[in-house]
Amino acid sequence: MRIGAFSEQFSLSPETIRYYVNKGLLCPMIKNDRYDFKENDIDDMQLLLRLKSFKFSIVEIHRLLSLRRLSGFDSPNELSDYINILVDHKKKLQREKRELQGIISLLQDEIGSSSGKHSFNAKRKNGVPLQFLQYLACPSCKENLSLSNCSIEKDQILSGTLNCECGFSAVIKNGILIGPSGEISKYDWPDIERNCYRLMNPTLVSYMQKAYHWLLDRLGQCDMDGKVILEDFVNNYCFCHANFEEMPSKALYIISDKYPEIVAIYKGLIDKLGLEQKVLYIAAASDMLPLKDGCVDMYIDFDSANEYALYHKGYSTEALARYFHSESRAIGSFFSFKPNSSAEKELHRQFPESWEHSYDISYFKRYLRSAWANIIDEESIGNVTDSNTDEKASLYHIPGEVGMDVYFAEGFRKKEQKTL
């Protein structure tokens, strides 16, 4: 019988039959450079498939086939050897069954507890803490804002209206201060599904975790009691949400983005943590945050510089400059691409407005030294070198072409720096 007819008899491909032949599980005769399958090959194939259905490995199947070929199971002892192997394998499968049942039970518990996280409700409604009123001001004329039509619960403003005599107005809705969003690029959108997290290359996620540890360590070196910490541009990533439990509990936090729906997502997630930190949530354009000039003591730039450069000719600190003072500090991370890489080309294809220096680590380092009086510390976390297509993320984070650097700076320079 030729290989085509043999493989058809067992509903297998000729390639599979050749694989078994190469492994020694089948030993057909060869005539005229072609396999010639006989009755004994059919018997071997039937036993092979039966043992395969019993979850024996290829190596174990080869051993059992060899045992039958040598003995034919003609004597009680030889047949007993075969039966003992089957009994031992049955016991092994029974152990695995018990282990799997235990794992299934644990999985069910994990499914139940994970599902419960979505139904968890904050112990109380969180709004604009009254402590932040001293930091609010009109972004247009810098005068104080008047507050009206307020709904206040304990020390939190849940809703209300903020007005200035110059005509500026903002609202507090569901505990979020909402101002003007400014002009939004047609290539920009709110990442409501948080794809920047979900679809990121796993190796790069590991670098992000290292960056988290690095930034938390530097933040821990500063006395932040009563100080104002700002994180803006959280559409891509929100460092505070991922690390709040390890961040200073007596600092005052401002989390902002131009998209109200993005701010609402992170407010909901952070509220569920039930932590002590006081947080002001603002949905407004970065240069239109209703905050007093010079009120920010620490700026968290986790990919903010990268995101800002997708739609502007510059970095995020330029939009936020007036909120810093001469002793302000910044901690941040910066994603970079290899020059002229496919990742860089894909970036500019998806974001035609992106700055020519987007994701350019050399240029960014020169910018840091022009914007900050002192670079206290900086480090290259690493470069993603894994080109495994299974790890390839969507968008433009292409494995093998992405790097991550972190920095800690102080002493913001008030004067705008143009030449780098």
What does the domain layout of the chain look like in residue ranges?
Answer: 3-72, 183-412
CATH of domain 3-72: 1.10.1660.10
pLDDT digits (tens, 9 = 90+) for 165-215: 999 999 999 999 999 999 999 999 998 887 777 777 777 888 889 999 999
CATH of domain 183-412: 3.40.50.150
Q: What is the pLDDT of residue 123?
A: 52
Copy the structure tokens of residue 72: 């034919």
pLDDT digits (tens, 9 = 90+) for 219-262: 999 999 999 999 999 998 999 999 999 999 999 999 999 999 99
Question: Cβ distance 315 to 358 under 8 Å?
Answer: no
Question: Cβ distance 19 to 42 under 8 Å?
Answer: no
* Interval 38-45 mean pLDDT: 94
CA–CA dist 371, 376 (Å, integer): 13
Q: How many CA atoms lie within 13 A of 69 on its CB side?
A: 16
* Cβ atoms < 10 Å from Cβ of 339: 10
Q: How many helices (H) and strands (E) does the chain have?
A: 13, 14
* Interval 18-44 mean pLDDT: 93
CA–CA dist 377, 364 (Å, integer): 15
Copy the structure tokens of residue 134: 């001293």
Q: What is the pLDDT of residue 124?
A: 55
Copy the structure tokens of residue 399: 């494995």
Name 184's Cβ contacts closer than 8 Å, sequence gap at least 6. 258
User: Which helix H or strand E contains 410, and what residues bound it?
Assistant: strand 402-412
| Percent residues over pLDDT 70 in the chain | 92
Q: E strands along 16-175, which residues?
A: 29-31, 34-36, 128-129, 146-153, 156-163, 169-173
Q: What is the pLDDT of residue 116?
A: 64
pLDDT digits (tens, 9 = 90+) for 364-383: 999 999 999 999 999 999 77
Q: What is the pLDDT of residue 393?
A: 40
Q: What is the pLDDT of residue 69?
A: 87
> What value does the mean pLDDT of the chain take?
89
- Residue 419's pLDDT band, with cuts at 50, 70 and 90, is very low
CA–CA dist 279, 58 (Å, integer): 60
Q: What is the pLDDT of residue 131?
A: 94
